[in-house]
Structure 1
Amino acid sequence: MAALRDPGERKRIGEGKPILKPFLGFIESVVILGGVDLLFAGFVIIQFTYLFGGQTNIDATAYTYAEYARRGFSELVVVGVLSLGQILGLAAWTKRERPALRSWFNGLSALLVLQVGVILASALTRLLLYEEAYGFTRLRTYTHVFIPWMGVLLAAFLVLLLVGKLRKFAVAVALGAIGFTLTLNLLNIDAFIVKRNVARLEDTGDVDVFYLASLSEDAVPGLADLARDLSGEVHEDLLLELACWNTQLEEQLEKQTWSSTHLSRLVAMDAFEDLQEDFESYKVYQEDWGMWLIHGQEEEIVCAHQTWFR
């Protein structure tokens, strides 16, 4: 007879059944959640200057920009994991038969999620301050992309909590991980780093040429454009590094097979074309042990970008 039932009325095995039968009383659960909410709220209020003080906080506490940003990110990860883990555990173990009890539980849980959002905002604020002071690197860019996706996960968690579908949070985490990875690929990290640091150069007059020259070929078009716009010592430093990179890439392209052809390398070589006349005054060579060196107008230096092949 079961086979004759309307397919729309059938349920999957285990659907609607908890993985672990609730055993924790509602009062006990509320005490735990409410206590954590109060503790968290007190911390946010008392430590508001620490969380959002920015430059003033750095000056007052003698933190470095790196320490201030890293502490913010570490706090976000720890608080996020512990808070969401606590809510997931209590949601699975707490008896909440009546709608009123579920509403109280969801309200206290939502308050905790929102307070995690405050820590997230603090972490992003600190990271932006760090980037403003020292520019973008790969690690800072990864973190910059991660924090908004963490915010998306918090929002998804909150929605699933309120509609009673927390068991699907694992799917949200998987989709968030996919979204984070796709964002990194679509963003073209090294090209983005060059673009952001060039924008910062216009505001501050400061750029780390040697770091930018250590990136992948995706950075070359932006650096080639920058070399044409710069002048002075920074221009000379950048030309040295690009000349070194150009020679390495030429040799690499000569040795590569069709199966190792890379579009970014071809685009990079095309970007180098307009700078060939500038490169003629530099001598680039590789030592017997593999290190690439360049002889500039006054001294010999080690190339920031190193391609290790013989």
Structure 2
Amino acid sequence: MPAQAPETWLSRIRPKAPGPVPTATLWCVLATALLSALLLGDGLGLNLLVVAIPATLAAYVAARAAGRRIRPWSLVWGIGGFALLAVPALRDAGWPTFLALVTALGLGSLALHGSREWRGILLGPLGLFESLGPGLAWGWRGLRERADGPRGRLGPALRTTAVAVGLLVVFGALFAGADAAFADLLGSLMPDLDSVADGPWHFLLFLIGLLGALAAAHTAAAPLRWDLLRARPGRPRGRVEWALPLIVLNLLFAAFNAVQLAVLFGGYGKVLSETGLSYAQYARQGFWQLLWATVLTLVVIGLALRWAPRGGARDRTLVRAVLGTLCLLTLIVVASALRRMDLYVDAYGLTRLRISVAAMELWLGVVIVLIMAAGVLGARRLPLPRAVAVSAAAGVLAFGLLSPDALVAERNVQRYERTGKIDVGYLDGLSADAVPALDRLPEPLRSCALKDIDDTLKERAAPWYATSRGERRARELLARHGVSTTGYQCVPERNGIQDEYTEYDPYDPYGP
């Protein structure tokens, strides 16, 4: 008997080869590829949802043929993925769209794999990419079986189509040369040169849709079992060895938070008078440090849980008390960081990066709350990996639907109405989502802020399915009120309009 190959982690999680590909799956894959080639070349919008429908049906049919049932969590991930795909149809800004698409891919992998542990949630998207090659081979085998089988009709259909096309080309060319009117008729039916030039791009989109749908269907029929990967548990430590470093850390957090609470309830005036800092300088000082402190605290909690004592009820009480205190103190750090950012935004305005890092800090606070809830309720009543994944997806969806570019413009316009200060040089680089807020500015600030957006929209011509709601609304406002910079120059002098930021670093959340 030949010796069996040693089991590896990949062979342990890899399932058996799926059965024959269902015919309905092949038709749905073909529909996905054709819709990708026809709709996605003009931009992103409602067309993403249209393309996702047949791809989802292909995966559903393949899963049912493999004997898999739809579970409640699969519906949660699937509905969440479709909701995220609606962001490009509503918002014009590219960066929330990118976040939404990446998150939708992650939720799609969870719907297909059905993972519940950290490893499956984090590594699930790799299973989709791993299915690209096997999925293509699986689909090709299905086509050959249907073409070569006793009842196969695909082969004769392809041969008949090829002969018909050849006859049309040959005799059509002869008739076109014989009659000018017939040649004009054929010319009106043939694609124009622009369409021919875009042929490689549409063919690439066809391949992407084909491979993506086949990979999703193959994963649904034979998903990688990520949850079979088991991490070796950490060695439990003694109570004093485990708890003493964390208690010291809690004391440090408590001392820092005492200062923050004194500032909050005692007012900033006393602290600023003692330190000699302005509001903006005080707010600017330490936000990144507080953000990293929050991230590192989550790492510390994860390692502490790995090496926590597990001797009985007294050990569980100790772990919950120490880590619960650390979580509560970390929430005060999160609130302090957000308050600092709010002060700085009041002083210098809101930017894309500032709203992004503030949203990240807020989500980290939600994760800490979920950790506390899981410690109280238990892992069975609150599965922490899934809860964190849901919170991340909900955060990205809310971030996209709230339109960060519109919030940036709205906050800066409100600040201008209050202080008379505005950075037009930054605002004119926002997307069409910012137009409703910028449209309220007085001239010439309004036209300076909207000029680049207006020029971009005039150069862009996309069909309805590749146009967002934010872009359509912006076009209506710009067409109604117009944009004119005649008689003054917006850059670099702006005809007396002084930019607040002389040097803007897009990677610095505080600038300038």
The equivalent residue for 2:356 is 142
- CA gap of 1:145–1:127, structure 2 versus 1, over 3 A, is same
Matched, 1:98 2:316: no
Q: Indicate which of 113, 117, 123 corresponds to 2:331.
A: 117
CA-to-aligned-CA distance 1:49-92 (integer Å, 9 cap, x gap): 67886566456545576664454432333222332322322222
- CA gap of 1:56–1:196, structure 2 versus 1, over 3 A, is farther
CA-to-aligned-CA distance 1:15-52 (integer Å, 9 cap, x gap): 9x984153311221122222222232233335756788
SS at match of 2:457: helix
1:202 to partner: Cα distance:
3.0
C-alpha RMSD over aligned residues: 3.5
Task: In structure 2, list runs of 5 or more residues that go unmatched.
Answer: 1-116, 118-224, 495-512
- CA gap of 1:301–1:36, structure 2 versus 1, over 3 A, is closer
- CA gap of 1:50–1:82, structure 2 versus 1, over 3 A, is farther
The equivalent residue for 2:491 is 301
User: % of aligned pairs identical?
Assistant: 29
What is the 5 A alignment of 1:30-49?
30-45=243-258
What is the 5 A alignment of 1:1-310?
19-45=232-258, 54=268, 57=271, 60-61=274-275, 68-69=282-283, 71-165=285-379, 168-224=383-439, 226-227=440-441, 230=442, 235-243=443-451, 245-250=453-458, 252-253=459-460, 256-258=461-463, 261-263=466-468, 264-276=470-482, 279=484, 282=485, 296-299=486-489, 301=491
- CA gap of 1:76–1:222, structure 2 versus 1, over 3 A, is same
Q: Which stretch of structure 1 is more off in the superposition, 60-69 or 28-37?
A: 60-69
Total equivalences in the alignment = 266
- CA gap of 1:85–1:257, structure 2 versus 1, over 3 A, is closer
CA-to-aligned-CA distance 1:117-156 (integer Å, 9 cap, x gap): 1111110110110111122111122233233322211110
1:303 to partner: Cα distance:
11
Which structure has the larger Rg over C-alpha atoms? 2
Tell me, in whole angstroms, the C-alpha distance in 2 between the residues paired with 1:244 and 1:35: 54
Which amino acid in structure 1 is aligned with residue 400 of structure 2? N
**Could you state the TM-score of these two structures normalised by the residue count of structure 2?**
0.45
SS at match of 2:305: helix
1:197 to partner: Cα distance:
2.2
1:193 to partner: Cα distance:
1.6
Which amino acid in structure 2 is aligned with residue 145 of structure 1? A
Which amino acid in structure 2 is aligned with residue 183 of structure 1? A
Which amino acid in structure 1 is aligned with residue 481 of structure 2? L
**Could you state the TM-score of these two structures normalised by the residue count of structure 1?**
0.71
Tell me, in whole angstroms, the C-alpha distance in 2 between the residues paired with 1:244 and 1:159: 48
SS at match of 1:301: coil
Tell me, in whole angstroms, the C-alpha distance in 2 between the residues paired with 1:178 and 1:71: 31
Tell me, in whole angstroms, the C-alpha distance in 2 between the residues paired with 1:99 and 1:109: 15
SS at match of 2:309: coil
Q: Which stretch of structure 1 is more off in the superposition, 24-33 or 66-75?
A: 66-75
Tell me, in whole angstroms, the C-alpha distance in 1 between the residues paired with 2:327 and 2:429: 40
Task: In structure 1, list runs of 5 or more residues that go unmatched.
Answer: 1-11, 283-295, 305-310
1:274 to partner: Cα distance:
2.4
